[in-house]
Amino acid sequence: MMTPKDFLEFAKKNNAKMIDLKFTDLLGTWQHCSYPVETWDEETFKDGLGFDGSSIRGWQGIHVSDMLAVPDPDTAVIDPFFKEPTVSVIANIVDPITKEDYTRDPRHVARKGAAYLKETGIADTCHIGPEPEFFIFDEVRYEQNQYTGMYRIDSVEGAWNTARFEEPNLGYKPSFKGGYFPVSPTDTYHDLRGEMVKEMWKVGILVEAHHHEVATAGQAEIDMVFADLLKMADQFMWYKYIVKNVAKRNGKTVTFMPKPLFEDNGSGMHTHFSLWKGDKPLFADSGYAGLSDIGLYSIGGILKHAPAILAFAAPTTNSYRRLVPGFEAPVNLVMSKRNRSAGVRIPMYSENPKTKRLEFRCPDPTCNGYLAWTAMLMAAIDGIQNKIDPGEPLDRDIYEMTPEELDKYPKTPGSLAEAVDALEKDHKFLTAGNVFTDDLVEMWIKWKREEELGPLALRPHPYEFHLYYDS
């Protein structure tokens, strides 16, 4: 653990001129402010630094805007993207009057979730291993106003560019749904992904693998080695920051939107999840797919509460362009050993008890990891405490099943509105132990309805002109 004194020595050792303070807003975006090193001392880590909470999405009203950001010295690293040596540190948010941790600070929610898990006596640690996917584009243009609504993306890898004049065009464009694991020259982004991995190493992120993904136009995946929930949520913020900034300095742009391309695979974030007590994994035994009762009950809880979880884990209207049948999307809220259309898959690559885990396949990388993964944890705890049966597995090929056979399995919500409605009806499991608070859940629902669902419903869609203009 790094102390405030260690932090200041670390800054001096690295000849840092500035300190960059970062924190995560309600929706999962980093905010930051930079300070000359000499303006900080050990008391800064106790007193915090003031900022305007009313300017942060989903936080304070204008009449109670003052907030404190209290740096966590243990998160210190050298930021890889500033010209001058800069120490980056992540902050926790505190009310300046009560000195209590702020209920809508996502990092505080994750910290409470980890503490609550220990309090239950079920386990000591929740391990998270996400597989975020993203697209690397060469250009993106979009506009929305009273008389125009459009977007246009382009990629040197786009399947639609096989006939483009490129002086010369050499072909080698991954086809639609043809981008999984090709070598170069079809995979043109190996070195760029490698550069992203190198920057991740610099901030302490362990990477398991990187590769091209299924879709055309530069879809990629970089997998991080599993870590405890809070550490992984911190790392996920670094992950997005690094991927976007490495792309930018190479003249590229990255999006974590789940479905930027029509009729090709979207970007998900399959999340591997396990519980441990000390050095003992709790999910391995002789049940279905080699799972223990705790593992099966965890799946039962996650499947039961999945529609509500997805209000956090698949939190955008675009998320539900991905969660549709036909694109390897996990739309069936069932478990399976190997079926990738199941909401929860149990990987079968190894018989080692330490690798036994569940994989929740519905989340996507637009989510706030602090909230989404803590919601998963709370659902798993509820499943264990109430011995929730996960139901019969779905181990058949869904493309060989009749619609009537598939109808008996519950499905993911069909829209963000449905997921938000599910959260409104089912969130008591989240507020156990005061991990999520009612005011956070209420603000999340309010924001999604008023700032995203409502405005989107008012706007004409370009395809409506195709359908109705000449009616």
**What's the Cα-to-Cα distance from 203 to each of 81, 87, 184, 242, rounded to whole Å?**
11, 11, 28, 10
Q: Choosing from 79, 157, 264, 359, which is the catalytic residue? A: 359
Q: Is 459 a catalytic residue?
A: no
Q: Choosing from 108, 193, 270, 305, which is the catalytic residue? A: 270
Task: Give the C-alpha separation, 411 to 142, whole Å.
Answer: 32
Task: Give the C-alpha separation, 12 to 101, whole Å.
Answer: 30
Which tokens in the block code for residue 20? 């960059």
Q: Which of 151, 136, 453, 129 is nearest to 267 (CA)?
A: 136
Q: Choosing from 72, 221, 234, 364, which is the catalytic residue? A: 221
Q: Choosing from 6, 52, 143, 392, which is the catalytic residue? A: 52
**In 10 A of CB 273, how many CB atoms?**
25
Q: Choosing from 57, 338, 340, 459, which is the catalytic residue? A: 340
Q: Is 52 a catalytic residue?
A: yes
Q: Choosing from 131, 157, 199, 264, which is the catalytic residue? A: 131
Collapsed DSSP state (helix, strand, coil) of residue 75: helix
Q: Is 322 a catalytic residue?
A: no
Task: Give the C-alpha separation, 112 to 381, whole Å.
Answer: 14
Q: Which of 6, 10, 34, 2 is nearest to 20 (CA)?
A: 34
Which tokens in the block code for residue 150? 């459009």
Q: Choosing from 361, 364, 427, 452, which is the catalytic residue? A: 361
Strand ranges inside 155-308, DSSP E: 207-212, 219-224, 227-228, 253-255, 269-277, 280-281
Q: Choosing from 213, 364, 382, 452, which is the catalytic residue? A: 213
Sequence letter at residue 371:
L
Q: Which of 215, 224, 218 is nearest to 197 (CA)?
A: 224
Task: Give the C-alpha separation, 439 to 449, whole Å.
Answer: 15
Task: Give the C-alpha separation, 308 to 234, whole Å.
Answer: 23
Q: Give kind and range of the element (H or E) at residue 93.
A: strand 86-94
Strand ranges inside 42-85, DSSP E: 49-52, 66-71, 77-78
Q: Choosing from 25, 79, 133, 382, which is the catalytic residue? A: 133
Helices (H), 386-453: 403-407, 416-425, 428-431, 438-447
DSSP state of 101: B
Q: Is 38 a catalytic residue?
A: no
Q: Is 364 a catalytic residue?
A: no
Contact present, 362 and 314 (Cβ < 8 Å): yes
Q: Is 359 a catalytic residue?
A: yes
Collapsed DSSP state (helix, strand, coil) of residue 234: helix
Q: Which of 156, 259, 169 is nearest to 214 (CA)?
A: 259
Supply the residues annotated as catalytic: 52, 131, 133, 213, 221, 270, 340, 359, 361
